[in-house]
Homo-oligomer: A and B are copies of this chain.
């Protein structure tokens, strides 16, 4: 059994938000982007132009010579894609929060390279601040993937599949669900002719506050003060927004129970 290769050429399966942002970081750091293959021909083409690399229409045609095959597809597609990739000598790793390491165990060297960040094609983030959660099928692969992540980020740790799932779940709460609350606020203000931009300093400070305080210590508001009059007025103001009203009631009940329970 040969050793996990040192990584210099990286091929991508998938050409979406995660693939694009990682390729930007690797490209900038001097790695060679080998090939790309994605379910979207248009996506592959744009990616291959952006990173000056070859594109393949079928996974089975991918060249076996890359050092790393990075599978950047939605969680529920990793298994299927891994099944169709040819046998390769390089490391095969996925970037999914919810998919176990074992989904790739038919390959000689396999691992997980999970960026705990919300990535969009059109919005470049500071890659050095992306937390990378690494897992390898063997120690050498883990080291190779850690080395790679450390080239582009200062925040690299080893996380096993079970713990990674909980990070993903927690990420849904702080990112997807917080963003839903932002949408609710946006809708409420728009209906009153108010500009959502007025809330941006508050949202920024809400995120910044928990860098120095624990979330439980940072909590303020009518539920924590047990201010029934304000809560009653808020519920009345939400009477034409049944979904947001139910959400307000549920979170307020949870906060009241926690702080006055």
Contact among B157, B175, B230 for A206, CB-based, below 8 A: B175
* Segment among A6-14, A41-49, A105-113, A179-187 that sits at the interface with chain B: A179-187
User: Measuring CB to CB, which residues of chain A are less than 8 angstroms from any residue of chain B?
Assistant: 74-76, 98, 116-118, 120, 123, 125, 129-131, 133, 155, 157, 159, 162-163, 165-167, 169-186, 188-189, 192-194, 196, 198-216, 218-225, 227, 229-230, 233-234, 237-238, 243-244, 246-248, 250-251, 254-255, 257
Q: Provide the main secondary structure of the chain A interface.
A: helix
Task: Enumerate 18 A-B pairs (CB-CB under 8 Å) in ascending A order.
Answer: A74-B225, A116-B198, A116-B201, A118-B202, A118-B218, A120-B213, A163-B194, A170-B199, A173-B188, A174-B202, A175-B202, A175-B206, A175-B220, A180-B251, A180-B254, A200-B210, A200-B211, A243-B254
Bound Cα distance from A130 to B245, whole angstroms? 28
A178–B178 touching, CB < 8 Å: yes
Instruction: Report the 6 A-B pairs with minimum CB-CB distance, sorted nearest first.
Output: A176-B221, A170-B185, A207-B207, A182-B215, A183-B215, A178-B178
Q: What is the CA–CA distance of A254 and B247 in the complex, to the nearest angstrom?
A: 10
Rounded to whole angstroms, the CA-CA distance of A52 and B196 in the bound complex is 38
By CB atoms of chain B within 10 A, which of A98, A120, A169, A209 has the most?
A: A169
Q: Is B201 within 8 A of A155, CB to CB?
A: yes
Task: List chain B residues, Cβ under 8 A from A186.
Answer: 214-216
**Can you name 18 extra interface pairs (CB under 8 A) apart from A167-B194, A173-B181, A179-B218?**
A74-B225, A76-B227, A125-B205, A131-B202, A170-B185, A173-B184, A175-B203, A175-B206, A176-B219, A176-B221, A176-B222, A178-B178, A186-B214, A203-B207, A203-B210, A204-B207, A204-B208, A247-B251
Which listed residue, B157, B172, B194, touches A198 by the CB 8 Å rule? B157
A109 CB, nearest partner CB in chain B, Å: 26
CB distance from A238 to the nearest CB of B (A): 7
B177 touches A229 (CB 8 A): no
**Residue picked from A125, A182, A214, most chain B C-beta under 10 Å:** A182
Distance of A60 from chain B, by nearest CB (Å): 25
A82 CB, min distance to chain B CBs, angstroms: 16
What's the Cα separation between A243 and B202 when bound, in Å? Answer: 26
B123 touches A209 (CB 8 A): yes
A167 and B250 within 8 A (CB)? no
